[in-house]
Amino acid sequence: MTQPHQTLGEFIIEHQRAFKYSTGELSRLINSIRLAAKVVNHEVNKAGLVDILGQHGETNIQGEDQQKLDVYANKLFIETLINREIVCGIASEEEDSFITVQGHNKAHDNKYVVLMDPLDGSSNIDVNVSVGTIFSVYRRITPIGQPVEMKDFLQPGNQQVAAGYIIYGTSTMLVYTTGHGVNGFTLNPAIGTYYLSNPNLKFPETGQIYSINEGNYVHFPQGVKDYIKYCQEEKDNRPYTSRYIGSLVSDIHRNMIKGGIYIYPKSSKVANGKLRLLYECNPMAFIVEQAGGKASDGYRRILDIQPTELHQRVPFFCGSKTMVEKAEEFMK
């Protein structure tokens, strides 16, 4: 393979030119996310050396114990976005409500809102397993000049203008879409530059990996139990391989490269599953669809769900198209 040579910076400039009316705001937004991601990457990499492992001592609005890195990444992404005056509002898994951003001129004149999961898979930090960051971008609905409102954040996922994730893995990657396919960039840590390493990523049409927290089996709906048994059956190209990291970003990234399905269903313990529609499922669904895969709640397309609250949870079936369709058959 030849060495990738186009940098993320060059890629952004080249693609911004393709949008005739672009003001460059979205490009600047992606730019500040890649910058914040580099800083978080640096912290994640040395987490074992400094006092940033472990619990922060508080719970977030979702009732989860916050890890120190959850709090750190949240603060860093928010500060970076606010300081650059490129968004009019931010919502985060770690914040109780949305944040209204006004420029130094107090004008509320930026057009995008960002929703994010600053650190995904945070229970994996202490054990040196890959974690991630997820972001989702919408154009505001309220008129420019006014403070943002809840309705700017409660838009269905099909209105996203961009979405992406960063994976702090064996190497650090930024993968994102603006609705024209999906591209992956790998960070060269020696020089702090991301290079286009995975142009035009495509989800394999089918695969042989299923990813689900099977420890919760007894609590799963019958359709999910039956689908798991189907995955384990000796027939055709089955049994499939079971792979579950417990970091959504890593689990989906792997399945996008290799082919597979990820499921976080509802259960008798969690009525709507665990994953958050706005910070996790919508951005991942946008990326997965842009790569030719499929994402649903077992019945409906994720991107068509009208959100009703910021921290809403939703069952998530996502991955190779034919595998998700098969799982949906079992849910009927």
- Residues annotated within a binding site for substrate: 120-123, 213, 244, 274
3-state secondary structure of 179: coil
Nearer to Mn ion (CB atom), residue 25 or residue 64: 64
Nearest one of 223, 177, 221, 224 to 202, comparing CA atoms: 177
Smallest gap from Cβ 188 to ligand AHG, in A, equals 26
Given phi > 0 = left and psi -120 to 50 = alpha, else beta, which region is 302?
alpha
Question: E strands, the chain, where?
Answer: 55-59, 65-67, 87-92, 99-100, 112-120, 131-139, 160-168, 172-177, 182-188, 193-198, 209-211, 241-242, 261-264, 294-296, 316-319
Q: Does 120 bind ligand AHG (CB under 6 A)?
A: yes
**Residue 116 or residue 187: which is nearer to Mn ion going by CB?**
116
Least distance CB 65 / ligand AHG (angstroms): 10
Tokens found for residue 111: 């057009």
Residues in the annotated binding site for Mg(2+)? 93, 117, 119-120, 280
Residue span 208-237 as binding mask against ligand AHG, x where in contact by CB under 6 A, dash where not = -----x------------------------
**Structure tokens, 193:** 């530059």
Per rule CB under 6 A, is residue 184 in the interface with ligand AHG?
Answer: no
Site string for ligand AHG, 52-91 (x = CB under 6 A): ------------x---------------------------
Find the radius of gyration of the CA atoms of the chain. Answer: 19
- Report the distance separating Cα 43 and Cα 40, nearest Å: 5
Provide DSSP, 15-49: HHHHSTT--SHHHHHHHHHHHHHHHHHHHHHTTTT
Among 25, 64, 126, 226, binds Mn ion (CB under 5 A): 64
For residue 312, the partner it binds in ligand AHG, Mn ion, none, with Cβ less than 5 to 8 A by kind, is: none
Binding residues, by number, are 93, 117, 119-123, 213, 244, 274, 280
Q: Is 121 in the site for ligand AHG (CB under 6 A)?
A: yes
Residue 247 binds which entry of ligand AHG, Mn ion, none, CB below 5-8 Å type-dependent? ligand AHG
Residues contacting ligand AHG: total by CB under 6 A: 11
With CB under 5 to 8 Å by kind, the binding choice for 253 among ligand AHG, Mn ion, none is: none
Is 176 within 8 Å of 30 (Cβ atoms)?
A: yes
Placement of tokens 């919502």 in the chain: 91
Q: Can you give the binding site for Mn ion, defined by CB under 5 A?
A: 64, 93, 117, 119-120
Q: Which residues bind ligand AHG (CB under 6 A)?
A: 64, 93, 117, 120-122, 213, 246-248, 274
